[in-house]
Structure 1
Amino acid sequence: MGPVLNVMGPLSPNNIPATVERISSYFSGQTVVNAIFSSYNESVASEFRENGIEPVFVGDAMGAGQAKFLLKLLVSRRSYDLIHVFGGIVHTPVPQLLSSMTGDPVVTRFNGYNNPSDKFFLVSAKLFENELLKRSDAMVFNSYYQMFDILREHGRTPGQKHHVIAPGIDKSAFAPAFKDEVDSLRESLGIPSDAFVIGTCQTPRPVKQPRKALDIVSKLNPLEGRDVHLVFVGDSDHLPKYKRYGDDIGVTENVHWVGRQPNSELSLWYSMFDVTFLTSSAESFGMCISESYLCETPCVAFMVGGMADQIQHGETGWLVRPDDTDRMTDRIADLLTNDHQRRTFGENGREYVLDRFTLSEVADQYRSLTNSLLTP
């Protein structure tokens, strides 16, 4: 297979390493030109170059940058075997226009839910999203839930062009931490040695429903005479209002807001959690679940997005009807007070992720898909 043009939107700082690694794995051994619809970012550029991918920063996807980039591609007459749209950029017509002019096949990966707050941009994004669904030669979704949700919104049903392929996780980056390291981390946070620890790793914002996480730790305390502490890994501009809510319901002493943590240190945090849980109202995949499982920590989550793909109900964790915080509280309590089940779920979860969601497994699925498009 020849050169690949990958088209994508801007990257948040905590997603840079994982995104670069995924694109490198999807198209391993191939020449990739990476068009990024954002202003120049040295951190992003250097990360891609270190992985043998040349980044091209195009500018604002809704501005003149896309027109200039399209013209440059046409003038250069460089041919690509494949155009790959990597989520977050469904609001640009460049891939469709280029494909219509060159005949190159387009694969669109829908990485998340595109929900701009501004009504004009929301309508525009949905129009372009529909065009991608209409014109792409293949569409890749993170989870079955996401696929059905997006297709239903546009009045479509799953067909041969629609594929579910997980984002992929680097299995070497996550593993159970040593007990002495976990004990040291607990001590640094002032968590008593006999306390239960539940944790969540997310960017706190409305769709993640952090208030429900705080409500759950309030309902859990005390549990069989022991404190339950909540560790919140992640940061955002919304954080102050969630901290105030924690103050209002009286859980401040049992909640630890530790901010964004380096990817290289996440294994230690997951290993400290007795249970990882997610209260999101929507997720395209929810990578923190697979990350937690690789550290052998069981998970509980509302049954949205990729939760049903990752959590095997009653075998690796528990799925709960969306927004049923009482039931989620009960499920977490059951795991906290059952050491054998907690260990079994965690071990089963690690095996399940290793079998289905590693980067090597995902790369094989991508190769199979792209080869099918390029075979006459």
Structure 2
Amino acid sequence: MEHGMRVAQLVPALGDGGVERSALEMAAHLSSEGVENWVVSAGGRLEDDLLALGGGHLRLEIGRKSPLAIAANARALARWIDATGIDVLHARSRAPAWVGWRASRIARRKPAFLTTFHGVYGHKGVLKRWYNSAMLRGPVVIANSHFIRDHLERVYGVDRQRVLVAPRGVDPARFDPTTVPAEDRDMLRAELGAGFGDHVQPLLVLVARISRWKGHALLLDALEQVTDRPWHLACIGGADSQTLEADLKARVAQGPLAGRVTFTGSRADIPQILASADLAFSVSTAPEAFGRSVIEAGAMQTAVIGAAHGGTLETLVDGKTGWLFPPGDAVALAARIRVALSDPHSARAMGRAGRTHVLTHFTTRHTLAAEIEGYRRALAQGRPA
């Protein structure tokens, strides 16, 4: 990137999700290269992290979906673009994409506009497809997996020549198992409920926000079939639905899994938890667009059991870095869990293979290089008329 370049990324808010983390990773990279950059959002818990990384922040509620809010936000953003001299607008979500696309057309500056398609949005019905089309209005669309690229071609008829695949990645320095001492792992395992010393049990980990499609209930269904084996499950992540979280906790407390499942809420020490785990899961009942949890576990040398659909088919090598199971099949999932618990030596070997696989294919360096190429292509295509 040229040092005189100015880049703004657009996200609804700076919460603790994959889209926000991707924006911060790009901000850190751009700052390290001397590129002036901002994130435009409603703010959130990661705002201070962004500023510490050298990025700027414009507080604007661009996640609001009403046509009036989108129009007003586009006008405000266009004025800011002209005042700041933004060259590239990179939208990572739909409402921000509408705001950014409109602003790129009404601003005098006319920045290049592109998007990253981070998810499989609902697309049944004319109105939903039209709303989603904001993500396709730039000359370049970045897909976070080959699965998403194929989805764009199949569902929206997008020419794959416009689509640049930039799989998500991990920071190998942050996700490094050698940085987690054995005593720290022992303490974490005890804290999460897996016991200590002679009473330790295999620690199973599901890192996912509590949402129906993330598969918490499915995993509990499977584990109820494996109660004859020692294990303890830690569910790491905040809740999209307080009602669902309460239902899951009540189910655990009143059934055969009582005392064997811990819900931790959001945690900042995900790498350390994964390094302490014996087995990790990605059990979403709908396809993950990419699914960071698989590569994060692999980077920490932890084998993964994953549902065989979506981006997981690109990140998990069945029989080498973990095990795949038919999506939604609790019986098959239970069988994979039983195999993993019965052969911890193979599980550890798969974990080591997982780190090699991640370092070869799924680091932030790979992701950022692909996204920077997207910026170059968007700029080469010219500014909107």
With the shorter chain as reference, the TM-score category is 0.7 to 0.9
How far did residue 190 of structure 1 move? 4.6
Conserved in 2, the CA contact under 8 Å of 1:17 and 1:47? no
How far did residue 5 of structure 1 move? 2.5
Task: Choose 333-342 or 100-109, whichever is displaced more.
Answer: 100-109
Conserved in 1, the CA contact under 8 Å of 2:97 and 2:134? no
What TM-score results when the alignment is normalised by the length of structure 1? 0.86
2:318 alignment partner, one of 309, 313, 319: 313
Q: Deviations over 1:168-216 (max 9, x none)?
A: 3222222223222222333344534353222111111111121111112
Q: Which residue of 1 aligns with 2:216?
A: 210
SS at match of 1:10: coil
Conserved in 1, the CA contact under 8 Å of 2:301 and 2:354? yes
Q: Which residue of 2 aligns with 1:138?
A: 140
Conserved in 1, the CA contact under 8 Å of 2:193 and 2:260? no
SS at match of 2:205: strand
2:188 alignment partner, one of 182, 185, 190: 185
- The amino acid that maps onto 1:148 is D
Q: Which residue of 2 aligns with 1:271?
A: 275
Q: Which residue of 2 aligns with 1:221?
A: 227
Structure 1 CA distance for aligned equivalents of residues 96 and 272 of structure 2? 38
Q: Deviations over 1:213-232 (max 9, x none)?
A: 11121111213xxx122121
How far did residue 345 of structure 1 move? 0.8
1:301 alignment partner, one of 283, 298, 306: 306
Structure 2 CA distance for aligned equivalents of residues 15 and 169 of structure 1? 11
The answer to whether 1:242 aligns with 2:245 is no
2:132 alignment partner, one of 115, 129, 132: 129
Structure 1 CA distance for aligned equivalents of residues 153 and 161 of structure 2? 13
Structure 2 CA distance for aligned equivalents of residues 45 and 127 of structure 1? 31
Structure 1 CA distance for aligned equivalents of residues 95 and 19 of structure 2? 19
Conserved in 1, the CA contact under 8 Å of 2:11 and 2:20? no
Conserved in 1, the CA contact under 8 Å of 2:171 and 2:364? yes
Cα 1:339–1:59 shift into 2, 3 Å? closer
Q: Which residue of 2 aligns with 1:331?
A: 336
Cα 1:257–1:110 shift into 2, 3 Å? same
- The amino acid that maps onto 2:24 is E
Structure 2 CA distance for aligned equivalents of residues 188 and 4 of structure 1? 42
Q: Which residue of 1 aligns with 2:174?
A: 173
Question: Identity across aligned pairs (percent)?
Answer: 20
SS at match of 1:148: helix
1:95 alignment partner, one of 94, 100, 104: 100
Q: Which residue of 2 aligns with 1:360?
A: 365
Structure 2 CA distance for aligned equivalents of residues 53 and 260 of structure 1? 24
- The amino acid that maps onto 1:70 is A
Aligned residues: 361
Q: Which residue of 1 aligns with 2:114?
A: 107
Cα 1:208–1:356 shift into 2, 3 Å? same
Structure 1 CA distance for aligned equivalents of residues 78 and 194 of structure 2? 60
SS at match of 1:219: coil
Cα 1:113–1:10 shift into 2, 3 Å? farther
- The amino acid that maps onto 1:136 is G
Q: Deviations over 1:133-153 (max 9, x none)?
A: 2x2111112222233335433
Q: Which residue of 2 aligns with 1:46?
A: 48
Q: Which residue of 2 aligns with 1:373?
A: 378
- The amino acid that maps onto 2:133 is N
Task: Choose 206-215 or 138-147, whichever is displaced more.
Answer: 138-147
What TM-score results when the alignment is normalised by the length of structure 2? 0.84
- The amino acid that maps onto 2:38 is V
Cα 1:189–1:72 shift into 2, 3 Å? closer
**Unaligned segments of structure 1, at least 5 residues:** none
Cα 1:178–1:214 shift into 2, 3 Å? same
Structural mapping, 1:16-165, within 5 Å: 18-25=21-28, 27=30, 28-36=33-41, 38=42, 40-41=43-44, 43-59=45-61, 61-63=64-66, 64-75=68-79, 77-78=82-83, 79-86=85-92, 88-90=93-95, 92-101=97-106, 103-114=110-121, 126-133=129-136, 135-154=137-156, 156-165=157-166
How far did residue 19 of structure 1 move? 4.1
> CA RMSD of the aligned region, Å?
2.8
Conserved in 2, the CA contact under 8 Å of 1:33 and 1:54? yes
Conserved in 2, the CA contact under 8 Å of 1:22 and 1:168? no
Structure 2 CA distance for aligned equivalents of residues 174 and 54 of structure 1? 26
Cα 1:354–1:268 shift into 2, 3 Å? same
SS at match of 2:161: coil
1:232 alignment partner, one of 232, 235, 242: 235
How far did residue 48 of structure 1 move? 2.3
Structure 2 CA distance for aligned equivalents of residues 53 and 189 of structure 1? 35
The answer to whether 1:256 aligns with 2:262 is yes
Cα 1:212–1:158 shift into 2, 3 Å? farther
- The amino acid that maps onto 1:222 is D
Task: Choose 190-199 or 313-322, whichever is displaced more.
Answer: 190-199
Conserved in 2, the CA contact under 8 Å of 1:200 and 1:276? yes
Q: Deviations over 1:112-154 (max 9, x none)?
A: 24459xx9xx975542312432x21111122222333354333
